[in-house]
Amino acid sequence: MANVSVTVNGVAREADVEPRTLLVYFLRETLGLTGTNVGCDTSSCGSCTVLLDGESVKACTLLAVQAEGREVTTIEGMASNGQMHPIQEAFRRNHGLQCGFCTPGMIMAAASYLRENPSPSEGEVRESLEGNLCRCTGYHNIVQSILDAAGQTAGAKA
């Protein structure tokens, strides 16, 4: 077993895990943070995207031990004081989700990208989502949600 100490959503967490444990299963099964979903075993879909020291990473591509000493933010860490994060609000306002399974990964990818580029164009948002797959929405309203969160559109489409 390997010991892992990570700060997750601002709280220091520590556990012994099998060395082969992926970060996503450490979050889901060891820490019980099931908001980060697993959609593939091929690093393709981006559903498991979390922030590692503020930057987006697919949590199925990292071993838990590789996160040692670092800060992880998951979808559960986005709302504060009972208020959803502006990106979460924007997804709701723009119908940026249907089944909701890819949504946590989309929101975490958007959070990372908007920190890099706070005023993106539509094309830049589309490009930034290259690593995140959605099968329900056709992406249109996801892109609108992210632009809305960045203050780039008037918001509600309807």
Partner 1 sequence: MAVTERFVGQPVLRKEDAPLLQGQGSFVDNMSIAGMVHMAIVRSPFAHARVVKVDVSKALEMPGVIAAWSATDLTDEWAGPLPMVWPITEDIKTSDHWPLTKDKARFQGDGVAVVLGESRGLADDGAEAVDVEYDALPAVLDIEDAVRDGAPLVHDELGTNAVVHWSHGGGGDQSLFESAPVKLKLRYEAPRTTPSAIEPRGALASPVPSLGEFTLWTSTQIPHIARVTLSGTTGIPEHKLRIVAPDVGGSFGGKLDVYAEEALCLALARKTGRPVKWIESRSENYSVTIHGRGVIHDIEVAATEGGKILGFHVTELCDMGAYFQLLTPGIPELGGWVYMGPYDTQAYWYEFTGIMTNMTPTDAVRGAGRPEATYVLERAVDALARHLEMDPAEVRRINFVPKFTEDRPSLMGLNVDSGDYLPAFERALELAEYDQYRKEQASRRENGDIKQIGIGLSSYIEMCGLAPSNILGALRYAAGGWDAAQVRCQPSGKVTLYIGTSPHGQGHDTTWAQITADELGVTPDDIEVLHGDTATTPLGMDTYGSRSIAIGGAALHYALQKIKDKARTLAAHELEVSEDDLRFEDGAFRVQGAPDKVRTIPELAVSAWTAHNLPDGFEPDLTATATWDPKNFTWPYGTHVCVAEVDTETGRTELLRYVAVDDCGVVINPMIVDGQVHGGI
User: Which residues are near partner 1 by CB under 8 A?
Assistant: 18, 20, 28, 33-42, 44-45, 47, 74-76, 78-79, 84, 88, 91-93, 95, 97-104, 107, 133-138, 140-141, 156-158
Neighbours of 69 (CB within 10 A): 9
**Minimum distance from residue 38 beta carbon to partner 1 (Å):** 7
**Minimum distance from residue 134 beta carbon to partner 1 (Å):** 7
Nearer CB in complex with partner 1: 92/115: 92
Tokens 């589309």, located at residue: 126
Nearer CB in complex with partner 1: 70/86: 86
- Give the whole-angstrom CA distance, residue 158 versus residue 150: 18
Nearer CB in complex with partner 1: 71/133: 133
Beta bridge partners of 121: none
**Minimum distance from residue 100 beta carbon to partner 1 (Å):** 3
Residues 6+ apart with CB under 8 A from 50: 23, 24, 27, 36, 56, 57, 59, 72, 73, 74, 75, 108
Nearer CB in complex with partner 1: 58/119: 58
- Give the whole-angstrom CA distance, residue 22 versus residue 11: 20
**Minimum distance from residue 40 beta carbon to partner 1 (Å):** 4
Tokens 């709302």, located at residue: 79
Nearer CB in complex with partner 1: 20/119: 20
**Minimum distance from residue 143 beta carbon to partner 1 (Å):** 11
Q: Which helix H or strand E contains 146, and what residues bound it?
A: helix 140-149
